[in-house]
Amino acid sequence: MRHYEVVFLVHPDQSEQVSAMVERYTASI
């Protein structure tokens, strides 16, 4: 589960979008 870490590094300022993407990633899994 290191996807969220990569996302945070890529978009540290967009916390809202990051959380949404993380939820989608976890849902896919």
- pTM higher than 0.75: no
pLDDT of residue 10: 60
pLDDT of residue 4: 61
Contact between 7 and 22 (Cβ < 8 Å): yes
pLDDT digits (tens, 9 = 90+) for 1-29: 566 666 656 655 666 777 787 788 778 76
pLDDT of residue 14: 64
Range of the domain at 2: 1-29
Structural domains in the chain (count): 1
pLDDT of residue 29: 60
Go through 1-29 and write b for each residue having 16 or more CB atoms within 10 A of its CB, e for each that does not.
Answer: eeeeeebeeeeeeeeeebeebeeeeeeee
The DSSP result for the chain, as a single string, is --HHHHHHHH-SS-HHHHHHHHHHHHHH-
Q: Do you know the residue count of the chain?
A: 29
